[in-house]
Amino acid sequence: MARPRVFVTQPIAESALARLRAVADVEVNPDSSRVLDKANLIEGVKRCDILLSLLHDTVDDDVLAANPNLKAVSSMNITQDRIDLAAATRRGIPVTNIPAIVTDATADIAFGLLLAVARNIPYGDKLFRAGTYPGSQSNHLAGAAVTGKTLGLVGFGRIGQAVGRRSRGFDMKIVYTDLNRLPPDQEQKLGASYRSFDEVLREADFVSLHPQLSPATRHLMSTRQFALMKPTAFVINTSRGPVIDEAALVQALKDRKIAGAGLDVYEHEPQVSKELVAMPNVVLTPHLGSAVLELREGMAHVVVDNTIALIEGRKVVSCLNPQVLPEAQRP
């Protein structure tokens, strides 16, 4: 019997690939510096039985239709971002995913962005490398204080709470908003106080966004919301790009409605507004939320666990549309 063929859209941990090569013929796109374009993704799908995709890969109906014999999509997604799950289900293609294991890494990036934009760290680095040294007590790069300020968390699930825990080391006051308010004992344990969404925006010195992306949260932050924030406040986004109306953010920054932004995700990712790129009070990172070597290796092994389970007919770790799997393989 021919070995199954797996196409991997970007290099993943070699330890995980070695396990996969033991049971399948594996083709890996070797370029880790850019997202595979649609034409080449389709060509890869045509040559495989199982597609191993990453979060940034757009697996739409065109991609799924490129190979009528495609058996599965083994994804490094936690949710179905960029995957047409309805089309996959309609075609009987299981889409496996990974559990929510990126909490601490994403919280680290969120707080790193907060510190970086408040204290002008990237801008100072850029100027110093270019030969500018304003002096150790110059106001040229003076930024905003973090210690003792108010952190507003929009979405208070796993990651929002983890960011809140980090902020306690800076003696920050924590206010949060969420669809589901926590019981008083949990609020007390986390040192957090509940507010309405608008109250968080008015009160916070740093607004950190952690909602799940849905039709209700798309453009959650737009013109009205930025106008509610303090002109000295900053917005941080490590959730999903479309949570922010990027054009409205650019205008709010131009009009000095807010002081700055720290962004790891973008509305039209991987594209980002050229105006944001040019602003020294905006810190931009290319979706580094889970970019920790040990974590990425662990994520790769979960994806390979799922892929090998699909090949061997065993129970998968997790699946976004388990109804298309035989009963014995459902998680």
CA-to-CA separations, 169 to 101, 149, 164, 166, in angstroms, rounded: 23, 12, 9, 6
| 289/239 Cα distance (integer angstroms) | 9
CA-to-CA separations, 222 to 228, 229, 234, 241, 261, in angstroms, rounded: 10, 11, 14, 12, 14
Of the residues 195, 210, 269, 301, only one is catalytic, namely 269
Of the residues 240, 246, 267, 301, only one is catalytic, namely 240
Of the residues 56, 195, 210, 287, only one is catalytic, namely 287
Is 287 a known active-site residue?
yes
| 227/255 Cα distance (integer angstroms) | 10
Query: What does residue 297 show for φ and ψ, rounded to 5 degrees?
Result: -65, -45
Q: Taking the alpha carbons of 27, 33, 35, 40 in that order, is the dihedral positive or negative?
A: negative
Q: Taking the alpha carbons of 288, 289, 295, 298 in that order, is the dihedral positive or negative?
A: negative
| 173/193 Cα distance (integer angstroms) | 9
Is 240 a known active-site residue?
yes
Contact 276, 250 (CB under 8 A): yes
Is 269 a known active-site residue?
yes
Nearest residue to 303 (alpha-carbon basis) of 140, 87, 72, 149: 72
| 330/314 Cα distance (integer angstroms) | 8
| 324/319 Cα distance (integer angstroms) | 10
Active site residue ranges: 240, 269, 287
